[in-house]
Amino acid sequence: MEALGVERIEAVADRGYFKIEDIEACEAAGVTPYVPKPVRGPAVREGFFPKEAFRFDPAPATFTCPGGQTLRPCRRGRSRDNVKIDYSNRQACMACSLRSRCTKTYRHVSRLENEAVLDRMAARLAARPEVLDQRSTSVEHPFGTIKQWMHQGAFLMRRLECVRGEFSRTALVYNMRRAISLVDVPGLIAAAKG
């Protein structure tokens, strides 16, 4: 933001960066984050309905499950520094024809108290799914080239200042090679002069 002289910026990252604290920090700093949610968790591992199959209603804070039943808050706990609330409807599960696709006993769905920040990001991603492809084509190319073709898998230097110097040279060489691929040497020289 400082380099571009702007007060708002968008940040697109891969699933490895999906962490609610960081997403919140981005919003607070004027950064609009786009990070896809990893599909994981015990229910997914067991082949049960994923959490996305459950619709959250903020007022009065309930989930509607794939069977159309209402899951209500049943337990309050913590996940790192976040308040986590579990929702369930044991009676409905016991009588449910979808139970074998949903749970072994009765289903709990968890939601963090501050999870609305993730809902907002999911809505942004649904509206602009192409940003993820833009990220991978623009960001993965340098990583792949630097690591595989330039054999820069690990830094040779130690200490931040030295590593910065090493990476600056790597980036300079990458940029020159990339420019030569795109506009050839005469084009690069002409651009440098211009």
Which residues here bind ligand SF4, judged by CB under 6 A? 65-67, 69, 92-93, 96, 98-99, 102-103, 107
CA distance from start to end of the chain? 26
Q: Judged by CB, which is closer to ligand SF4: 108, or 174?
A: 108
* DSSP string for 161-182: HHHHHHHHHHHHHHHHHHHHHH
Q: Closer to ligand SF4 at the Cβ: 48 or 174?
A: 48
The Cα 70–Cα 67 span in angstroms is 9
Cβ at position 98, least distance to ligand SF4 in Å: 4
**Shortest distance in whole angstroms from residue 43 CB to ligand SF4:** 10
* Residue 125 in tokens: 């991603």
Q: Which residues contact 146 (CB under 8 A, 6 or more apart)?
A: 152, 170, 174
Nearest distance from C-beta of residue 69 to ligand SF4, angstroms: 4
Nearer to ligand SF4, 97 or 137 (CB): 97
50 or 142: CB nearest ligand SF4: 50
